[in-house]
């Protein structure tokens, strides 16, 4: 393979991917410097970088979810890189790291969500941003049907670079983790090392398509909280009169509140069938994050 460009090579999963690719003898082209403001100008700069590197593979890894969704800069950078990549003649493989948050969370979800399930239409910054990221990937695929595009919808990621609404909540500093009173949903976690291995697989094998990447099992949220050595504090829903309207008052974002109520588990069978390395169990992943 020609050089591989990663949009985020120095942090968390990106650094792990760099290490793995270098062990395989694959060169890494460092193209993570800031691009100028303005969509068209940034796209031109990224196209120049990709062409100079004679890029064969590209990893778009800007999926650092927080309560407010992806940072605007991260989302815009991903869109610019994909726009530029559509004009890179040497490119033949692209991996976009997405998130299972695209499905949202709710009582209507099946026990294990497959890739055929439509993205959520519920309001929420994180799900909306992830849907925008995948829309940019779809535009790239339409412009470059000759390039193998893999989209990885990863479970809540823990380890060297925890990301995801629930992962951040469970692993937050302090001795307590707030949960919703009366609920103990099923949840999944995957390690950053496992996600990096999945990215390398997508770069080195012909596995175009959309894949859930998650453990084969799920675990109760209460068990995850015990494993990280914290105390679960169930919170009752409360209401307050604001401007003459009764409003729910909760210490979480709407999306995190839904995860604490309904959880979410991804069905990884398609990735297993495509030969992706199978991650450890959900419990092993969360334990590895703290031990």
pLDDT band at 241 (very low <50, low <70, confident <90, very high): very low
What whole-number distance in Å separates Cα of residue 46 and Cα of residue 94?
15
What whole-number distance in Å separates Cα of residue 171 and Cα of residue 164?
11
Residue 57 pLDDT: 86
For the full predicted model, state whether its pTM sits above 0.75.
yes
What the block records as the tokens of 192 is 């950053």
Which of 281, 273, 283 has its CA nearest to residue 226? Answer: 283
Query: What would be the CATH architecture of the domain defined by 4-288?
Result: 3-Layer(aba) Sandwich (3.40)
Residues 6+ positions from 236 with CB-CB distance below 8 Å: 181
pLDDT band at 45 (very low <50, low <70, confident <90, very high): low
Listed by start position, the domains of the chain span: 4-288
Q: At what angle do helices 192-204 and 12-23 cross, to 10 degrees?
A: 50
What whole-number distance in Å separates Cα of residue 163 and Cα of residue 155?
9
Residue 131 pLDDT greater than 90, yes or no? no
Beta-bridged to residue 179, according to DSSP, are: 234
Q: Bigger pLDDT: 203 or 290?
A: 203
**Contact assessment for residue 253 and residue 127, using Cβ atoms and an 8 Å cutoff:** no
Which of 26, 92, 35, 38 has its CA nearest to residue 62? Answer: 35
What whole-number distance in Å separates Cα of residue 101 and Cα of residue 254?
13
Give how far Cα 177 sits from Cα of 159, 170, 228, 249, 260, Å.
Answer: 18, 6, 10, 17, 11
Residue 39 pLDDT greater than 50, yes or no? no
- When mean pLDDT is compared across 68-77, 144-153, 207-216, the lowest value belongs to 68-77
Most confident of 123-132, 236-245, 278-287: 278-287
């Amino acid at each position: 393979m020609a050089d591989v460009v990663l949009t985020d090579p120095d942090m968390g999963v990106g650094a792990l991917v760099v290490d793995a690719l270098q062990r395989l003898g694959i060169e890494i082209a460092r193209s993570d410097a800031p691009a100028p403001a303005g969509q068209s100008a940034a796209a031109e700069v990224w196209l120049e970088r990709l062409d100079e590197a004679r890029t064969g593979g590209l990893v778009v890894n800007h999926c650092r979810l927080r309560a407010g969704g992806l940072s605007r800069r991260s989302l815009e950078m991903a869109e610019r890189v994909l726009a530029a990549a559509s004009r890179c003649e040497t490119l033949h493989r692209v991996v976009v790291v997405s998130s299972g948050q695209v499905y949202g969370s709710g009582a209507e979800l099946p026990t294990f969500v497959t890739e055929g399930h439509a993205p959520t239409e519920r309001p929420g910054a994180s799900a909306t941003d992830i849907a925008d990221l995948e829309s940019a990937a779809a535009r790239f695929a339409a412009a470059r049907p000759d390039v193998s595009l893999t989209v990885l919808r990863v479970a809540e990621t823990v380890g060297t670079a925890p990301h995801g609404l629930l992962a951040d909540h469970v692993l937050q500093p302090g001795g307590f983790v707030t949960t919703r009173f009366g609920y103990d949903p099923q949840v999944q976690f995957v390690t950053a090392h496992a996600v990096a291995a999945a990215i390398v697989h997508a770069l080195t094998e012909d596995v175009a398509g959309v894949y859930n990447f998650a453990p084969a099992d799920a675990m109760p949220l209460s068990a995850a909280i015990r494993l990280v050595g914290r105390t679960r504090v169930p919170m009752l829903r409360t209401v307050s009169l604001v401007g003459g309207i009764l409003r729910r008052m909760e210490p979480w974002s709407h999306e995190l509140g839904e995860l604490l109520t309904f959880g979410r588990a991804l069905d990884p069978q398609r990735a297993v069938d495509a030969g992706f390395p199978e991650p450890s169990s959900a419990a092993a992943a969360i334990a590895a994050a703290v031990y």
